[in-house]
Amino acid sequence: MLQEIGQETASVFHHLMGVKMREIMPYYNQLYASEKLKFDPLMTVNIKNHTTSEQSSTGTGTSNTESESDAKSRAVASEFPQTQLSGNGDYASSAQDNISDTKATGTSTENSAGTNEGNVNGEVSGFSGNYSVLLAQYRATFINIDLMIVEDLQSLFMLVISTGDEFTERGYEHGFPAYWN
């Protein structure tokens, strides 16, 4: 209200004001839009996990097995040395020799199929850090967009505050009563 326009006529001022507003307002409109975003400034962690998995498998197998074994065994019981077992003088009351011969053959076939499906959903949220520091960082992001626009328009004015009329000579300084300063 107390600043004088920096152009000779009001129509030139009006034109330059329109040009300046078209230049600066796209930026400030984005600032206004970002100011509307809602979030929790004290939540520093928010992880959401949604995983879906599906597995399927099929298999066929055939195996052939063949084995052969020979075995000999001897059981000897001795109460008194009565019967000689060999030419070196071994004696026993009874003796038994067993000899076996085994042969085995086998075939097996296996078929299998399976499907496995699963869903995993989870969410972790909260904060990490100091509340005071987080709050101070959040407060540092506060901006006055309207005041920023007014400051950008200062180049359109002469920045002359006192016009020399009687209004400022009666104890007013910079357009305000002296006791306000």
Q: Which of 42-56, 100-114, 124-138 has the lowest mean pLDDT?
A: 100-114
H or E stretch covering 133: helix 131-139
- Whole-structure pTM value: 0.44
Q: Are residues 27 and 59 in the same domain?
A: no
Tokens of 139: 């407060």
Name the more confident of 41 and 36. 36
- Write down the pLDDT at residue 39: 78
Q: Is 28 inside any structural domain?
A: yes
Q: What is the mean pLDDT of residues 23-52?
A: 85
What's the structural domain count of the chain?
2
Q: Is 158 inside any structural domain?
A: yes
- Write down the pLDDT at residue 152: 92
pLDDT value at 66 more than 60: yes
- Write down the pLDDT at residue 15: 94
| The one-letter amino acid at 65 | T
- Domain region containing 66: 54-114
Q: For residue 136, what pLDDT band results from cuts at 50, 70 and 90?
A: confident
Q: Are residues 99 and 71 in the same domain?
A: yes
Tokens of 94: 């009874």
Q: Are residues 58 and 109 in the same domain?
A: yes
Tokens of 137: 């960082």
Distance of CA 41 to the CA centre of its chain: 18
Q: Is 1 inside any structural domain?
A: no
Closest CA to 174 of 8, 51, 2: 2
Q: Are residues 71 and 110 in the same domain?
A: yes
Name the more confident of 141 and 92. 141
